[in-house]
Amino acid sequence: MLSARTFDRTLVFQGWVLGFSVLASISQGDSVRAQTQPNLPLVNDVHYSNEVGVAPDADQIVEAETALQASSVYGGSLWERPNFTGDWLGSRSLLAEGGFKFTGDFTNYYQGVVNGGRNQHFKFGGHSDYVFDFDMEKVAGAKGMFIRVRGETQFGEFVNLDSGSLLASNTSGLFPTIGEQATALTEFTVTQFLSETFGVFAGKLQTMDGDQNDFASGRGKTQFMNVAFVANPGLFRTVPYSSYGVGCVVLGADQQPLLTFTAIDPIDRSTELNLDKVFEEGVTLSAEGRVRTDFFGMKGHQLLGLVWSSRDVALLSSGPRLILPNFATPTSNESWAMYWNFDQYLFVDPCDQSKGWGLFGRATIADAATNPLEYFLSIGVGGNSRIAGRSNDTFGAGVYYAGTSSEIPGFLFGDNGQGAELFYNYQVTPSFHLTTDLQFVNPSLKFVDDSFLFGFRGKLDF
């Protein structure tokens, strides 16, 4: 039976969703979603040019075009603009023209275990991201320099402990710290491009936007909810979510990251701002490459990466993003993992090349002596809806298999874990999306039944 507090939260959430649904029902036609580039690891919306000697009249033309573009992105009615708060009486466009961009969201979840698992409860929780991007050439004349700052807030409760799985059923419940209501500065990255295609970066890095996939990323807010389809969980033992580090990036012909190399403090410092102990317990090194493919004459990507950590920790330590019971083990001073993912479009809308659907997959192999997940596999399908008139909606369906290390004591794990997820993301307006999500989890933990989870997600971009 629902408590009075949970019932009140449920009414608030349902009322919020109902209000937007009623507004959407009186709108005419399909809303137009703003076309944006995918969120990229460490570098986003970066375009560096070394052109010099541009005539003043050309500069004026470029500035006018920039202002017009910014106005068209942020302006329009509620049924057209991608941000709920709009253009802030024109000031948002002016700020973007001057090199400052702000994006944020307010995402709520109402999700629960309906059968099996460890506990059968519905819980209400949420997460917000606040991202500030600075083009320092426009702000201060520093050509090729870009700064990104990210803040995060987690609130409410999540069901990640209720399913009995190592892998969180709700990714947003992991950040900035697992299961805690907190606000933190998780990213402050300075990127300096030294040429059109090569740049260096340093600062407080967040790693969730690496391992990109067109159909299975989105930080748990725009596509799948289960972390098995948002990132590669085989990396959680070696790679912190947010910590201090340095690196370099090479851009491809499409101005997207082609190669990325990073050296990062192996300790998660999501809620810390102290630099005194950086790299005190070792280092995590990573190299990642992502190339575009055109199999079948359609867009796709192949990604391959390798990570190694020298941190001295307990063997089979789960890190802060795998839900593993505590047990006594000796220590090891290194661990490694290799990972791969792909996405491949099978259909592209002839009227809008940015829309389509296709296949995706991920795989990991890791050091069985130090990583709770010796290997990991996932595969699925996703993309834009094929329902007539609903091309801005998205969907996804996937299955995963998590091979637990044979070094884990037998009294904890009876078998490898596996699961599946199905979601449909309905665009109410370009700034508000409502998702229905269904998951099945066969946990690897002993004495925990298979679980079925059902939930809703409401995401408002402001």
Reported as a single tens digit per residue, the pLDDT across 181-204 is 889 999 999 999 999 999 999 999
273: domain CATH number is 2.40.160.180
Q: Which residues have a Cβ under 8 Å from the Cβ of 286 and sit 6 or more positions away?
A: 210, 239, 260, 261, 262, 264, 305, 306, 307, 308
What CA dihedral angle connects 363, 45, 201 and 301, to 10 degrees?
20
- What is the predicted pLDDT for the residue at 330? 47
Could you tell me if residue 252 is inside a domain?
A: yes
Could you tell me if residue 142 is inside a domain?
A: yes
The angle at the Cα of 77, spanning 73 to 83, to the nearest 5 degrees, equals 50
- What is the predicted pLDDT for the residue at 164? 83
Could you tell me if residue 342 is inside a domain?
A: yes
Asked if 326 contacts 290 with a C-beta cutoff of 8 angstroms, the reply is no
Cis check: omega of the bond before 176, within 30 degrees of 0: yes
- 181-197: burial string, b at 16+ Cβ within 10 Å, e else: eeebbbbbbbbbbeeee
Could you tell me if residue 386 is inside a domain?
A: yes
Q: Tell me: pLDDT of 5 over 60.
A: no
Residue with tokens 């993309």: 383
Could you tell me if residue 20 is inside a domain?
A: no
322 three-state secondary structure: coil
What percentage of the chain reaches a pLDDT higher than 70?
Answer: 78
Q: Tell me: pLDDT of 27 over 50.
A: no
Comparing 44-58, 102-116, 168-182, 300-314, the range with the smallest average pLDDT is 44-58
Could you tell me if residue 18 is inside a domain?
A: no
CA distances from 414 to 32, 122, 409, 450, 461 (A): 49, 27, 10, 13, 42
- What domain range is 322 assigned to? 37-461
Q: Tell me: pLDDT of 153 over 70.
A: yes
Could you tell me if residue 32 is inside a domain?
A: no
The model's confidence at residue 171, banded by pLDDT at 50, 70 and 90, is very high
The angle at the Cα of 381, spanning 212 to 121, to the nearest 5 degrees, equals 85
In terms of Cα–Cα distance, which of 414, 39, 415 is closest to 231? Answer: 39
Q: What is the pLDDT of residues 31-52, one digit of tens each?
A: 333 333 333 333 444 433 334 3
Domain count, the chain: 1
Strand segments (E) across 45-144: 100-117, 122-135
Task: Say what the pTM is.
Answer: 0.81
Comparing 27-41, 147-161, 169-183, 349-363, the range with the smallest average pLDDT is 27-41
- What is the predicted pLDDT for the residue at 57? 52
216 three-state secondary structure: coil
Could you tell me if residue 26 is inside a domain?
A: no
